[in-house]
Amino acid sequence: MESIPFLHANKIFTITFEDDLTFVIVRSILDQLLDRNAFGSGVQQCEESYYLNCDTEGFKVWVVDMEVIVLREKLL
């Protein structure tokens, strides 16, 4: 797995991922998480993970502080 810092919406996130992700996908994931207030401490205590769709792909995403861990869901 790789980790990279990523500036989005005037915040610095650490994105950890296994498969290559395009900037469009990373931005979409971050926007969806921001819309759900996933970076709030109270929300992080309640949510285990998120299932997000970007274009035609699905992702399982975990949020810990400002780190976002992304796993591409394999379609059968």
Range of the domain at 30: 2-72
| Predicted model pTM | 0.88
DSSP letters along 8-68, please?
A: ETTEEEEEEESS---HHHHHHHHHHHHHTTTTSHHHHHH---EEEEETTEEEEEEEETTEE
Domain count, the chain: 1
- Does residue 76 surpass a pLDDT of 70? no
pLDDT tens readout for residues 33-63: 999 999 987 776 676 899 999 988 999 999 9
